[in-house]
Amino acid sequence: MQGEEQRLALEEIGEEIENIRAAWRWALVQHNRTAVNEGLFSLFDYYDMRSRFQEGQDALQQAAAMVEADHPKNEETQLLWGRLLARQGWFTFHVGRYGEAQRLLQQSVALIRPLNQPTDLVFCLNYQGAVHYHLGDNTQAETLCREALALSQETEYQPGQGIALNILSQTSFRTNDYEAAQRYCQRSLEITTQLGNPWSRAYSLSNLAQVAFAQQQYDEARQLNHTILEIREEMGDVRGIAMCLEMLARTAVAQDQPSDARTLYQRSLYLYREIGNQRGMISTLVGLGRLALQQEAYETACSYFADALQRAFQLKNVPDLLAIAAGLVAALYQMGQQETAVSLESLLSKDPLPLPQLADLIQKLPQ
């Protein structure tokens, strides 16, 4: 699943998925930890690469509960439990339960760190770092991924190096250190290409496309994203396709192609909805809202921003709330709804953010 035969392996698992599900359920009923451990890695990769996050979360949660109920006493069982919790945590993040995801990943690190299993620890650190990055905690993401990178270099574990470098590229990008971001993702691209891993290679290319976009190299960004899109489509990676379409939409906006941008954003939003990816939906709705603002379609913009704000509120994601509300306030002013805009600005200026009052205001927003 991590090499050149990746696409073929995914297709074979897809053809046998009903039998695999049945075997997994049997292993849980029988408390067969050996069978669970043997099937865990390929099943996780399949669910992750095919964006089947809810099904993956359910399957791993059941397995982790089975192992926990067995009251693990030995290192072998503790290792399996940690492996399950780490992967469950990643899928839990994707279905929008962020606090629970962080707790699961922290627990997995605590279980595995004492066991002298560097490959497993690297996995836990990288994915915990990825969650911190996506939730806006750059400092903690860098700390975790630097540890993962050092450990994977020490043990010559190339897949772990590739993932850590990709995340460090993203944290550098967020702080506008484009030189470091490009350096990290170039190193990651070299590793993933050497491994023959197209799925991971697409992430490295995506980070390069981000850097190109930020440096206003829009043609290069678009070409890279079309290459990535081909890989994602071959792999059947729905989330990856949606991410790529969203980036192509942003590039179309930058190149003054609003009609193309709207179509790309809408295609991306449809796919995010299909897999229940709330963060993706929020990001794409904000993109559509900003595009509508540019086109002076203020009611449409308000509708998109209000939808995004409601979703961000349900996730209790304060950074997203603040970013979305800025666009919504602009749309409300343009619509002549100064009173609502001023009320929203007043709430947003408070620290901590008064969530109950914000919830009341969200309910009154025009849809």
Q: What is the pLDDT of residues 78-110, one digit of tens each?
A: 999 999 999 999 999 999 898 999 999 999 999
pLDDT for residue 100 = 95
Average pLDDT over residues 258-266: 98
Answer yes or no: are the C-beta atoms of 196 and 3 closer than 8 Å: yes
Beta strand residue intervals within the chain, DSSP E: none
Burial class, 351, CB count within 10 angstroms (exposed 0-12 / middle 13-18 / buried 19+): exposed
Q: 């890989």: which residue's tokens?
A: 231
Query: Is residue 259 in some structural domain?
Result: no
Mean pLDDT taken over the chain: 93
CA–CA distance, 198 with 45 (Å, rounded to integer): 13
Give the N- to C-terminal CA distance of the chain in Å, as an integer: 44
DSSP-derived 3-state class of residue 202: helix
Is the residue at 356 inside a domain?
A: yes
Q: Which two tokens stand for residue 145?
A: 């991924």
Q: How far apart are CA 9 and CA 138, in angstroms?
A: 34
137-167 per-position pLDDT tens digit = 999 999 999 999 999 999 999 999 999 999 9
**Would you say the C-alpha torsion 48, 50, 56, 59 has a positive or negative sign?**
negative
Tell me 115's DSSP state.
Answer: G
User: Residues 194-236: pLDDT tens digits?
Assistant: 999 999 999 999 999 999 999 999 999 999 999 999 999 999 9
Confidence of residue 72 (pLDDT cuts 50, 70, 90): low
Torsion (CA) 286, 291, 292, 296 in degrees, nearest 10: 140
17 exposed, middle or buried (CB, 10 Å; 0-12, 13-18, 19+)?
Answer: middle
Is 305's pLDDT higher than 70? yes
Residues 6+ apart with CB under 8 A from 132: 102, 138, 140, 141, 144
**Tokens coding 297:** 């379609």
Confidence at residue 355, expressed as pLDDT on a 0 to 100 scale = 80
CA distance 80 to 26: 17
Which of 53, 86, 116 is the last residue before a domain boundary?
Answer: 116
Q: ∠353-176-192 over CA atoms, to 5°? A: 110
In a domain, 63, yes or no: yes
The residue behind tokens 């279980």 is 111
221 half-sphere exposure, CB direction, 13 A CA radius: 23
Q: Is the peptide bond before 352 cis (omega within 30 degrees of 0)?
A: yes
Long-range pairs for 333-341: beta carbons < 8 A, 24 or more residues apart: 334/293, 334/296, 334/298, 334/301, 335/298, 335/299, 335/302, 335/366, 337/366, 340/364, 340/365
Asked if pLDDT for residue 62 goes beyond 70, the answer is: yes
pTM (2 d.p.): 0.91
User: Which value, to the nearest 10 degrees, does the dihedral of the CA atoms of residues 156, 159, 162, 164 take?
Assistant: -80
Domain-located, residue 295: yes
d(C-alpha 306, C-alpha 292), whole Å: 13
| 317 occurs within a structural domain | yes
In a domain, 248, yes or no: no
Q: Which residue would you say has higher pLDDT here, 7 or 274? A: 274
Q: What is the pLDDT of residues 227-260, one digit of tens each?
A: 999 999 999 999 999 999 999 999 999 999 999 9
Q: Domain boundary at 116, 148, 179, which?
A: 116
69 within some domain: yes
Here the CATH number for the domain that contains residue 339 is: 1.25.40.10
Instruction: Tell me which of 98, 116, 134 is where a domain ends.
Output: 116
> What is the span of the domain harbouring residue 364?
277-367
Residue 48 belongs to some domain of the structure: yes
Q: How many domains does the chain have?
A: 2
Residue 263: Cβ within 10 Å count: 15
In the predicted structure, residue 186 carries a pLDDT above the cut 80: yes
Q: How confident is the model at residue 361 (pLDDT cuts 50, 70, 90)?
A: confident
Other beta carbons within 10 Å of 334: 16
At 1, is the pLDDT very low, low, confident or very high (cuts 50, 70, 90)? low
Under the banding of pLDDT at 50, 70 and 90, the label for residue 367 is: low
